[in-house]
Structure 1
Amino acid sequence: MRIAVIGAGGVGGYFGARLAAAGHDVTFVARGRHLEAIRRSGLLVRSPLGDVRTPPSSAVADIGELGPTDLVIVAVKLWDTEDIALRLSSADLGDPHVLSLQNGVHKDLILRRHLGEERVLGGTCFISAFIEEPGVVVHNNTLQKIIVGPYLAAQTTMSEAVHTAFRDAAIDTEPSTDIEKVIWEKFVFLVGLSATTAAVRRPIGVVRSNDRTRVLLSEVMQEATEVARASGVKLDETFVQTQMDFCDTLPATMTSSMHNDLEKGNRLELPWLSGGVVDLAEQLGIAVPRNRTVADILAPYIEGDSSPSM
């Protein structure tokens, strides 16, 4: 399969390299020093499951440099989704299907708006990986899971082919017949984790052990769950409690990428997490005061700030 991976960071770099090692024709779209390093020595992925390295020819600087493609994997930050969708819509790639491994529930809405519903598959991933230095991606543990599924019946054959490609690359892969529900389930959890750890500026262990911030965590997820149900997604009545129980099993030091970005002064994905819950709730006529408060508290840091604690 001819595969283009847009974004060669932790997610795109890891899964793209695994697919390349399994024999697929994989090309990364990267930039900056990361791109330069890949062009010199290939992309190196260090993992407890075994290291892999792609050839130096595996990266380009722009979507326009890609040739005919069967599958496009989108793995960029959420704020780049609109631009990527526009560039894909005008690129001469044939008629590839597109699979986003980004977080959130807005990603596929944006891609489908620009590329058409029939081209966008549903998917989500579970992994901890990051760029250690230009040209090097580190996989933190053995978790590397992808869930993929069709939005439309006509996408079933391609969705099955993508599932097979990931599975044959020794990636833990699961097909889904209700991918929208799977994406929303992950979204609700991420909204709770990111909202509370960023607002409190402490890891999940602190959040869950304090009575008031534990309630905050539960209510943030409850609001997101209510938005999901109002959007037609059938989440179980016990879903929030199940997520709270899951949070109790997490390492006390675990935190969210948004908390890390806040502490580092990086740009935040807030508009697509708690801010995204607020936007969707407004469209549906639902009150989400907890998520709105979090979005308001963190609003000054959306574009990045070198001293968020001041």
Structure 2
Amino acid sequence: MKIAVIGAGGVGGFFGAKLAASGCDVTFVARGNHLRAMREHGLRLREGRGAAEDLHLREVRAVENIDQVEQADLIMIAVKLWDTEALAPTLKRLVDRGAAVVSFQNGVHKDEILRRHLPAEAILGGVSYIASVIAEPGVIEYKGALQRLVFGEFSGVASERVKAFHAACARAGFQADISEDITRTIWEKFVFLVGLSGTTSSIRQPIGPIRKNPQTRAFLHDVMREVVAVGRAKGVALAEDFADDRLAFADTLQPDMTSSMHHDLQRGNRLEVPWLSGGVATYGRELGVPTPCNRAIADVLALYAEGTRG
């Protein structure tokens, strides 16, 4: 497959490198020091700080702009959410030539934005599960064995393009699943993502202390229950008690597990909070669903949302 990976960070860099190593024709769209390092030294994957690299792609096709990609069967989007609006129109050239588009970004707003600029039939739904970051330019560092993509047609049909991508992922050696209800799958991840990102960022602690303290544990539960209520009000087939399931899942995680938004907060980077807890609060206002916990998180983090570096 010819695959264009837009955003070579923790998600795009990891899965793109695995796909390239297995024989897919992968072009990374990256920027800055990370792009320069990939061009000069390749792309490296390693499990944890100080660990030996377990994959080194010495030859990497990396460009600065999607306009430099001539053809693609599939475009994987893994940039931050705030880039989506500007990015989407630039994909039409490749879509008109037959490319499918799948976003592995956080949240539920991503596909709404893509549909405003691209034909709905070109868009697949997708979610990623991995704890990974750019440790330094040209190096992706990941934690744990959870390395999974889930994707599918919004119609629920297992199309040939979905099957082809699934086969490519299998050859690459990471877990991949085809979802028959990708909208629900995206929202199921969203429930926990909002809970984890919102609490770790606003409380400034990893999941271990949050789930151990009765008051912060209840707060995490309430945050996720609000997301479930909003999703159900939008017609998503979420179980009414799905937040209970996600709280039990939180108990299985390593106590030092945190969120990418918490990492961004610590580094003074821009935050995705307007599309996570802030997005839940906005949906809540539109649908008449109370979301006091998510609104509180969005308010607490408002001064940091644009980043604090410099």
TM-score range, shorter chain: over 0.9
Number of aligned positions between the proteins: 307
TM-score, normalised by the number of residues in structure 1: 0.93
Measure the CA separation in 1 of the matches of 2:96 and 2:69. 7
Query: For residue 296 of structure 1, what is the aligned residue in structure 2?
Result: 299
Measure the CA separation in 1 of the matches of 2:60 and 2:167. 25
Query: For residue 270 of structure 1, what is the aligned residue in structure 2?
Result: 273
SS in 2 for 1:128: strand
4+ aligned runs moved over 6 Å, structure 1: none
Per-residue CA deviation, residues 223-257 of structure 1 (Å, 9 max, x unaligned), is 10001101111111331111111112222222222
Q: 1:92 to 1:196 in 2, by over 3 A?
A: closer
Per-residue CA deviation, residues 107-148 of structure 1 (Å, 9 max, x unaligned), is 111112211210110111111222122112123232211111
Query: For residue 82 of structure 1, what is the aligned residue in structure 2?
Result: 85
Does residue 216 of structure 1 match 2:187?
no
Q: 1:96 Cα shift?
A: 0.3
Query: For residue 140 of structure 2, what is the aligned residue in structure 1?
Result: 137
Q: 1:49 Cα shift?
A: 11
Measure the CA separation in 1 of the matches of 2:250 and 2:145. 19
Per-residue CA deviation, residues 142-172 of structure 1 (Å, 9 max, x unaligned), is 2211111111257722112111111121111
Contact 1:46-1:139 within 8 A present in 2 as well = yes
Query: For residue 6 of structure 1, what is the aligned residue in structure 2?
Result: 6
Q: 1:174 Cα shift?
A: 1.1
Contact 1:75-1:102 within 8 A present in 2 as well = yes
Measure the CA separation in 2 of the matches of 1:271 and 1:225. 18
Measure the CA separation in 1 of the matches of 2:153 and 2:255. 36
Q: 1:194 Cα shift?
A: 1.2
Matching residue within 127, 131, 140 for 1:128: 131
Q: Unpaired segments of 5 or more residues in structure 2?
A: none
Alignment of 1:62-141 (within 5 A): 62-90=65-93, 94-141=97-144
SS in 1 for 2:88: helix
The residue type paired with residue 35 of structure 1 is: L
RMSD value over aligned CA atoms?
Answer: 1.9
Measure the CA separation in 1 of the matches of 2:172 and 2:53. 12
Per-residue CA deviation, residues 179-216 of structure 1 (Å, 9 max, x unaligned), is 11111011000111111111111122222222221211
The residue type paired with residue 171 of structure 1 is: F
The residue type paired with residue 10 of structure 1 is: G
Q: 1:43 Cα shift?
A: 1.6
Per-residue CA deviation, residues 233-289 of structure 1 (Å, 9 max, x unaligned), is 111133111111111222222222212221221111101110010121222222211
Contact 2:158-2:178 within 8 A present in 1 as well = no
Q: Unpaired segments of 5 or more residues in structure 1?
A: none
TM-score, normalised by the number of residues in structure 2: 0.93
Does residue 54 of structure 1 match 2:84?
no
The residue type paired with residue 228 of structure 1 is: G
Matching residue within 236, 246, 251 for 1:248: 251
Q: 1:151 to 1:125 in 2, by over 3 A?
A: same
Query: For residue 15 of structure 1, what is the aligned residue in structure 2?
Result: 15
SS in 2 for 1:194: helix
The residue type paired with residue 44 of structure 1 is: R
Alignment of 1:157-176 (within 5 A): 157-176=160-179
Q: 1:295 to 1:39 in 2, by over 3 A?
A: same
Identity %: 50
Measure the CA separation in 2 of the matches of 1:53 and 1:169. 14
Measure the CA separation in 2 of the matches of 1:82 and 1:224. 23
